[in-house]
Amino acid sequence: MEAANAINLKMAPLTPDHHFYIDQGTNAHLRLVLICIGKKLVQSGVLDDPEDVMFLRYNELRYLIGDPTFAAKPLVAAARAAYRKAEALKPRDWIGTATESQLQFPYLNLWGFPEKLYIEQTEALDKVQGLAASPGVVEGVAKVVMTIEEFDKVEKGDVLVCQMTNPAWVTLFTKIIGLVTDAGGPVSHPGVLSASSHPGRGRVVGGHLPDQGRRPDPRDGNTGEVTILEKAK
Protein backbone atom coordinates (compact mmCIF):
# COMPACT_ATOMS: atom_id res chain seq x y z
CA MET A 1 0.00 0.00 0.00
CA GLU A 2 2.82 2.43 0.87
CA ALA A 3 4.59 1.69 -2.41
CA ALA A 4 1.38 2.24 -4.37
CA ASN A 5 0.73 5.49 -2.52
CA ALA A 6 4.27 6.73 -3.26
CA ILE A 7 3.66 6.17 -6.99
CA ASN A 8 0.25 7.84 -6.78
CA LEU A 9 1.73 10.94 -5.12
CA LYS A 10 4.05 11.36 -8.10
CA MET A 11 1.38 10.73 -10.73
CA ALA A 12 -1.64 12.52 -9.27
CA PRO A 13 -0.69 14.59 -6.24
CA LEU A 14 -3.38 16.44 -4.36
CA THR A 15 -2.44 20.13 -4.28
CA PRO A 16 -4.13 23.33 -3.08
CA ASP A 17 -3.80 24.99 -6.51
CA HIS A 18 -7.54 25.58 -6.92
CA HIS A 19 -7.78 27.00 -3.42
CA PHE A 20 -4.71 29.19 -3.95
CA TYR A 21 -5.38 30.54 -7.45
CA ILE A 22 -9.20 30.71 -7.43
CA ASP A 23 -10.79 30.58 -3.97
CA GLN A 24 -8.16 32.70 -2.21
CA GLY A 25 -6.44 34.29 -5.21
CA THR A 26 -9.51 36.18 -6.40
CA ASN A 27 -10.14 37.63 -2.95
CA ALA A 28 -6.47 38.48 -2.51
CA HIS A 29 -6.33 40.50 -5.73
CA LEU A 30 -9.53 42.32 -4.84
CA ARG A 31 -8.11 43.11 -1.41
CA LEU A 32 -5.00 44.66 -2.97
CA VAL A 33 -7.19 47.02 -5.00
CA LEU A 34 -9.26 47.97 -1.95
CA ILE A 35 -6.19 48.64 0.19
CA CYS A 36 -4.81 50.95 -2.53
CA ILE A 37 -8.11 52.84 -2.41
CA GLY A 38 -7.84 52.90 1.38
CA LYS A 39 -4.39 54.48 1.21
CA LYS A 40 -5.73 57.26 -1.01
CA LEU A 41 -8.60 57.87 1.40
CA VAL A 42 -6.18 58.05 4.33
CA GLN A 43 -4.13 60.62 2.43
CA SER A 44 -7.34 62.60 1.96
CA GLY A 45 -7.99 62.48 5.70
CA VAL A 46 -11.37 60.73 5.48
CA LEU A 47 -10.11 57.43 6.95
CA ASP A 48 -7.54 56.63 9.65
CA ASP A 49 -6.21 53.34 8.30
CA PRO A 50 -6.18 51.77 4.81
CA GLU A 51 -7.70 48.64 6.38
CA ASP A 52 -10.79 50.68 7.24
CA VAL A 53 -12.16 50.13 3.73
CA MET A 54 -12.63 46.45 4.63
CA PHE A 55 -15.27 47.51 7.15
CA LEU A 56 -17.36 49.53 4.68
CA ARG A 57 -20.12 48.12 2.53
CA TYR A 58 -19.88 48.50 -1.23
CA ASN A 59 -22.28 51.46 -1.47
CA GLU A 60 -20.79 53.12 1.60
CA LEU A 61 -17.37 53.07 -0.05
CA ARG A 62 -18.88 54.49 -3.25
CA TYR A 63 -20.48 57.34 -1.32
CA LEU A 64 -17.19 58.10 0.42
CA ILE A 65 -15.23 58.18 -2.83
CA GLY A 66 -17.80 60.50 -4.39
CA ASP A 67 -18.32 62.71 -1.36
CA PRO A 68 -15.40 63.27 1.06
CA THR A 69 -17.85 64.73 3.62
CA PHE A 70 -19.61 61.37 3.94
CA ALA A 71 -19.32 60.28 7.61
CA ALA A 72 -17.50 56.98 7.13
CA LYS A 73 -15.48 56.80 10.35
CA PRO A 74 -18.48 56.06 12.63
CA LEU A 75 -19.54 53.30 10.22
CA VAL A 76 -16.05 51.81 10.33
CA ALA A 77 -15.96 51.92 14.13
CA ALA A 78 -19.35 50.21 14.41
CA ALA A 79 -18.45 47.52 11.87
CA ARG A 80 -15.10 46.87 13.53
CA ALA A 81 -16.79 46.51 16.93
CA ALA A 82 -19.32 44.06 15.47
CA TYR A 83 -16.46 42.09 13.92
CA ARG A 84 -14.65 41.82 17.27
CA LYS A 85 -17.86 40.70 18.95
CA ALA A 86 -18.48 38.06 16.29
CA GLU A 87 -14.97 36.67 16.81
CA ALA A 88 -16.03 35.52 20.28
CA LEU A 89 -18.96 33.50 18.94
CA LYS A 90 -18.64 29.78 18.23
CA PRO A 91 -21.46 28.49 16.02
CA ARG A 92 -22.82 24.99 16.33
CA ASP A 93 -21.46 22.36 13.98
CA TRP A 94 -24.93 21.73 12.56
CA ILE A 95 -28.28 23.50 12.91
CA GLY A 96 -31.50 21.56 12.37
CA THR A 97 -32.02 17.92 11.44
CA ALA A 98 -29.27 16.22 9.46
CA THR A 99 -31.43 14.32 6.99
CA GLU A 100 -30.08 11.69 4.62
CA SER A 101 -30.65 13.91 1.58
CA GLN A 102 -28.77 16.81 3.18
CA LEU A 103 -25.83 14.59 4.07
CA GLN A 104 -25.55 13.48 0.45
CA PHE A 105 -24.44 16.97 -0.57
CA PRO A 106 -21.07 16.25 -2.26
CA TYR A 107 -18.90 18.82 -0.50
CA LEU A 108 -19.90 18.07 3.09
CA ASN A 109 -17.06 15.56 3.38
CA LEU A 110 -14.65 18.48 3.19
CA TRP A 111 -15.97 19.52 6.60
CA GLY A 112 -16.02 16.06 8.12
CA PHE A 113 -19.71 15.28 7.70
CA PRO A 114 -21.48 13.00 8.36
CA GLU A 115 -18.72 11.49 10.54
CA LYS A 116 -18.43 14.62 12.68
CA LEU A 117 -22.05 14.29 13.75
CA TYR A 118 -21.24 11.06 15.55
CA ILE A 119 -18.19 12.26 17.50
CA GLU A 120 -18.75 11.91 21.22
CA GLN A 121 -16.62 14.15 23.42
CA THR A 122 -15.65 12.67 26.76
CA GLU A 123 -16.31 14.49 30.01
CA ALA A 124 -12.58 14.39 30.79
CA LEU A 125 -10.97 17.81 30.38
CA ASP A 126 -7.72 16.27 29.14
CA LYS A 127 -9.26 14.59 26.07
CA VAL A 128 -10.42 16.05 22.74
CA GLN A 129 -11.92 13.81 20.07
CA GLY A 130 -11.75 14.63 16.37
CA LEU A 131 -11.38 12.79 13.07
CA ALA A 132 -8.22 10.96 12.10
CA ALA A 133 -6.62 12.74 9.11
CA SER A 134 -3.12 11.24 8.91
CA PRO A 135 -1.82 8.09 10.62
CA GLY A 136 0.79 8.45 13.34
CA VAL A 137 1.18 9.51 16.96
CA VAL A 138 3.23 12.54 17.97
CA GLU A 139 3.92 14.41 21.18
CA GLY A 140 5.00 18.02 21.47
CA VAL A 141 4.22 21.51 22.66
CA ALA A 142 0.99 22.79 21.13
CA LYS A 143 0.66 26.35 19.90
CA VAL A 144 -2.85 27.76 19.49
CA VAL A 145 -2.78 30.06 16.46
CA MET A 146 -5.95 31.90 15.50
CA THR A 147 -4.64 34.42 12.96
CA ILE A 148 -1.75 34.92 10.53
CA GLU A 149 -0.38 37.59 12.89
CA GLU A 150 0.35 34.82 15.41
CA PHE A 151 2.52 32.72 13.06
CA ASP A 152 5.67 33.76 14.93
CA LYS A 153 4.47 31.78 17.96
CA VAL A 154 5.14 28.51 16.13
CA GLU A 155 8.60 26.99 16.50
CA LYS A 156 10.30 23.94 15.04
CA GLY A 157 8.80 20.75 16.49
CA ASP A 158 5.54 22.32 17.71
CA VAL A 159 2.03 21.03 17.21
CA LEU A 160 -0.22 23.54 15.48
CA VAL A 161 -3.71 23.99 16.94
CA CYS A 162 -6.00 26.22 14.87
CA GLN A 163 -9.52 26.62 13.54
CA MET A 164 -8.69 25.85 9.90
CA THR A 165 -5.88 26.23 7.37
CA ASN A 166 -5.60 27.57 3.83
CA PRO A 167 -2.66 28.02 1.42
CA ALA A 168 -1.34 30.97 3.47
CA TRP A 169 -0.74 28.58 6.38
CA VAL A 170 1.41 26.12 4.42
CA THR A 171 4.55 27.97 5.53
CA LEU A 172 3.96 26.58 9.05
CA PHE A 173 3.93 23.00 7.79
CA THR A 174 7.72 23.12 7.49
CA LYS A 175 7.96 23.59 11.27
CA ILE A 176 5.23 21.52 12.86
CA ILE A 177 5.20 17.82 13.72
CA GLY A 178 1.45 17.60 14.31
CA LEU A 179 -1.79 19.42 13.53
CA VAL A 180 -5.16 19.80 15.27
CA THR A 181 -7.95 21.80 13.63
CA ASP A 182 -11.39 22.74 14.84
CA ALA A 183 -13.02 22.21 11.45
CA GLY A 184 -12.62 20.10 8.35
CA GLY A 185 -12.51 16.45 7.39
CA PRO A 186 -9.82 14.04 6.14
CA VAL A 187 -10.07 15.47 2.59
CA SER A 188 -10.11 19.12 3.65
CA HIS A 189 -7.10 21.41 3.15
CA PRO A 190 -5.40 20.63 6.50
CA GLY A 191 -6.09 16.91 6.16
CA VAL A 192 -4.70 16.51 2.66
CA LEU A 193 -1.73 18.86 2.97
CA SER A 194 -0.58 17.55 6.33
CA ALA A 195 -0.81 13.94 5.21
CA SER A 196 1.18 14.60 2.04
CA SER A 197 3.78 16.91 3.58
CA HIS A 198 4.56 14.79 6.67
CA PRO A 199 3.25 11.23 6.24
CA GLY A 200 3.37 9.15 9.38
CA ARG A 201 2.82 12.08 11.74
CA GLY A 202 -0.47 12.50 13.54
CA ARG A 203 -3.08 14.92 12.24
CA VAL A 204 -6.52 15.41 13.78
CA VAL A 205 -9.27 17.48 12.14
CA GLY A 206 -12.80 18.38 13.14
CA GLY A 207 -12.10 18.35 16.87
CA HIS A 208 -13.13 21.13 19.24
CA LEU A 209 -10.32 23.56 19.98
CA PRO A 210 -8.86 23.17 23.46
CA ASP A 211 -8.72 26.06 25.88
CA GLN A 212 -5.94 28.54 25.10
CA GLY A 213 -4.18 27.66 28.35
CA ARG A 214 -3.73 23.95 27.61
CA ARG A 215 -1.27 21.86 25.66
CA PRO A 216 -2.84 19.07 23.58
CA ASP A 217 -0.10 16.47 23.62
CA PRO A 218 0.09 13.92 22.14
CA ARG A 219 -2.31 13.67 19.20
CA ASP A 220 -3.19 10.37 17.58
CA GLY A 221 -3.76 10.53 13.84
CA ASN A 222 -4.88 6.91 13.88
CA THR A 223 -7.91 7.46 16.12
CA GLY A 224 -8.44 11.24 16.05
CA GLU A 225 -7.82 11.55 19.79
CA VAL A 226 -5.93 14.43 21.41
CA THR A 227 -4.61 14.02 24.95
CA ILE A 228 -3.68 17.04 27.08
CA LEU A 229 -0.74 16.00 29.26
CA GLU A 230 -0.09 19.26 31.07
CA LYS A 231 -1.16 22.88 31.12
CA ALA A 232 1.05 25.58 29.68
CA LYS A 233 3.26 27.29 32.20
Give pLDDT tens digits for 102-125: 777 776 766 777 777 777 666 666
Report how far residue 102's alpha carbon sits from residue 223's, in angstroms, rounded to the nearest whole number: 26
Whether the per-residue pLDDT at 210 is higher than 50: the answer is no
Residue 69: strand, helix, or coil: coil
- pTM recorded for the entire structure: 0.62
- End-to-end Cα distance, the chain: 42
Q: Is pLDDT above 50 for 211?
A: no
Mean of pLDDT values over 181-197: 72
CB of 50 within 8 A of CB of 31? no
User: Which one-letter amino acid corresponds to residue 191?
Assistant: G
On the CB side of 192, CA atoms within 13 Å amount to 17
Mean pLDDT on 35-59: 96
Q: What is the mean pLDDT of residues 18-44?
A: 87
Rounded CA gap, 144 and 163, in Å?
9
CA distance 143 to 183: 17
Summarised one tens digit per residue, pLDDT across range 33-44 is 999 999 999 999
Q: What distance in Å separates the CA atoms of residue 137 and residue 221, rounded to the nearest whole number?
A: 6
Q: 223: burial class by Cβ within 10 Å (0-12, 13-18, 19+)?
A: middle
Provide the phi-psi class of 148: left if phi over 0, else alpha when psi is between -120 and 50, else beta. alpha
